[in-house]
Amino acid sequence: MQGKSRPCQRGFLHVCANMRRRLPHRHLSETQPMGDPLPSQGTSIMTIDEFRDCLLDYYQTEVRGEAFFAATLSKFDAPDHAYKLGSLLQLETETKARLRPTILELGGSVEELESSRSAGLSRAASISAGDWEGFVRVLNKVGEPLTNRQREVSEIAPQPYRELALSMKIHGESIQDFTDRELAGDSAHSIDSVVLQLKFPLRRS
C-alpha cells in the first residue's frame, strides 16, 4: 500500500469504526436509484477514497487468511479436514484475485505485504496439531468482527461498487456459517456456503 496517511494502514476496524464520524452527510435517498433497497435512514455513503481504503485492507486480510489456511493444512490429516481447509484457502485466493481489478482502478496497490503474510503464519502457529475444534473456534472469533464490518460496508459503499461490497459480505458470512455449523455438529454441510462461491472448487474425496 502506498501513501503516507491512508486510514487503511491503521487497520480496517479502525477505519470503519470512525467512518460515520468522518463521512459527509450525504444520504442514500440522494444518490441511489429507485428500486434498490435502502439501508437505515440517515446512513452516510462512503466516499470513493474511503471505499478504496477498505478494499486495501480487505485485500491484506485475504493475504493473511491465505497464509493462515495454507500453514494450517499440515496440522490435520483427515481427508475431510484437508478438503475444508483447502476450500477455505481457495476462497481466500480467488477473492484476493477478484479484488485486484477494482483496487487498481481506484489507484490502490495490490502488493502483498510481508507483515500480512507473517500475521497469518503467526496465527496458524497458535493452532495445535489435530485440534480441529480449537481451529474452528479461533476462526469464528477472528472472523466475527470483520464480518460485521463487511455487513456495514455493503450498505454504505458507493453505488458503482455496491455489488462488490455485497460479495464481500457474503464471503465473510460464508466463513462464519462454516464455523457455526462445525460448532453445532453439522460437519457434513458446514463448508457448503464456501464452496458455492468458488469458481474453481476442489474435488471432495
Task: Evaluate whether 68 touches 89 at the Cβ level (below 8 Å).
Answer: no
Has residue 9 been placed in a domain?
A: no
Residue 104 belongs to a domain with what CATH number? 1.20.1260
Has residue 15 been placed in a domain?
A: no
Q: How far apart are the first and last CA of the chain?
A: 40
Has residue 88 been placed in a domain?
A: yes
| Residue 52, domain extent | 47-195
Has residue 28 been placed in a domain?
A: no
180 or 36: which carries more pLDDT confidence?
A: 180
Could you tell me the pLDDT band of residue 205, with boundaries at 50, 70 and 90?
Answer: confident
What's the structural domain count of the chain? Answer: 1
Has residue 161 been placed in a domain?
A: yes
pLDDT tens digits for 85-140? 999 999 999 999 999 999 999 999 999 999 999 999 999 999 999 999 999 999 99
Could you tell me the pLDDT band of residue 12, with boundaries at 50, 70 and 90?
Answer: very low
C-alpha–C-alpha distance, residues 165 and 96, integer Å: 13
> What global pTM score does this model have?
0.81
Has residue 150 been placed in a domain?
A: yes
Cα distances from 137 to residues 67, 84, 103, in angstroms, run 18, 15, 31
- For 159, the grid coordinates are 453505488
C-alpha–C-alpha distance, residues 161 and 104, integer Å: 14
C-alpha–C-alpha distance, residues 168 and 91, integer Å: 11
Has residue 60 been placed in a domain?
A: yes
In this structure, what is the dihedral angle of CA atoms 202, 140, 57, 24, given to the nearest 10 degrees? 130
